[in-house]
Amino acid sequence: MPVVQKPRLLLLIPHLGGGGSERVIETLARSLNPTKYDVHLALIAPCQNQYRISGLKATLHQLHSVHVRHSILPLLLLIWKLQPCLILSGIAHLNLLVLALKPFIPRTTRIIVRQNGALAETLRSRSHRLSRRAYSLGYRHADGVICQTEAMAREIQRSLRVELSKLLVLPNPTDVAYVRSHSLRHQDATPTIPKIVAIGRLVPEKGFDLLLDALSALPPAFNSTELLLVGNGPQQSFLERRARQLGLRNRVYFLGHVPNPIVRFAHASAFVLSSRTEGLPNAMLEAAAAGLPIVATPASAGLVDLLQNREGVWLASDVSSDALRIALQNALTTIRPGLRYPHRWIEPYELPRAIASYESAIDHVLAGIAR
């Protein structure tokens, strides 16, 4: 009996150990069925942490490039060597590169790109019109565009004029079982001081300056509340200076990059998402998996659709420090030490269900079935 060749998939990200977008692709590399697919993972930059490589079910390829734009030749050589049935790229600027290379790769190779953040933020550049044209042209020539929410799909269809049949709304795979077990195992049963945790790159769109302003404006009854800020980025010095100016020097802890940020959930009273613009952050999904109360800004239509009127969620009325302060104050007034919520709306994002959704989408694109 002839051996049936498994479809070869090539997953692409700049590096391991980045933000939520890289972690989604890394999770796929660890979780896609190896008996069904021949999975390969290509990294633009080399991985310095051997621990991150362990447990990968995919064959790893490191292109050893400093920047995405320097990876054109090694990426083309890898594609022609592997001749994958499908390429899945997970970061916006890498998506554009792969789609630009489409005329130079095997004609049978299909390309799926994943929009990793809010479209408005992706399109923000010195030449906004040129950026919009580039993404519109590129995404319209993809075989599939993965969107994190229905609202994101509507925005991409409207703004970039991508065919509806190419838009794939897929849940971010989240290891809910692991997050829950880890959080319960390490949970501090009697925290004496309210601790809120926020996670993300220290950049303006994450709105951590709004969070600092909101924290400083809380009534005196909440003056003991501490903020654990996980992440690094270009705004760190500015945010540290802002915290000092607001008198928060002893209440805000800049923890930098934490390889496994869920370790901070066990001792937290609530998770705060303060973003000005956002897709669907994995950190928030993991915080929900841990059962943490959620305080969030309405940073995208998709987030509002997901979080509105949920028990254990305090959604600010708008993206401002005052609205965030009101939501945070209402949450701190309500919650008690160690309180956790089931957050059943997280269930579609559970790892087995989300991976099954991704595999179904991959199979449909490989079969040429319009969606």
- The per-residue pLDDT for 1 is 46
Q: Is residue 214 part of a domain?
A: yes
Q: What confidence tier does 371 reach under pLDDT thresholds 50, 70, 90?
A: very low
Same domain? 325 vs 187: yes
Instruction: Round to whole Å and give the CA distance between 21 and 41.
Output: 14
Q: Answer whether 36's CB lies under 8 Å from 10's CB.
A: no
Question: What's the CATH number where 277 sits?
Answer: 3.40.50.2000
Does the pLDDT at position 55 exceed 80?
Answer: no
Same domain? 45 vs 159: yes
- The per-residue pLDDT for 51 is 52
This prediction's pTM: 0.89
Count other C-beta atoms under 10 Å from residue 165's C-beta: 10
Backbone angles phi, psi at 366, to 5 degrees: -65, -35
Write the DSSP string, 186-236.
H--SS-SS-EEEEES-SSGGG-HHHHHHHHHTS-GGGTT-EEEEEB--TTH
Mean of the pLDDT values across residues 213-230?
95
Helices (H), 225-281: 236-245
What is the domain count for the chain? 2
Mean of the pLDDT values across residues 152-167?
94
Q: Answer whether 94's CB lies under 8 Å from 142's CB.
A: no
Q: Is residue 1 part of a domain?
A: no
Same domain? 223 vs 321: yes
Same domain? 79 vs 200: no
Containing structural domain, residue 155: 8-173+350-367
Taking alpha carbons only, the member of 226, 173, 222, 200 closest to residue 297 is: 200
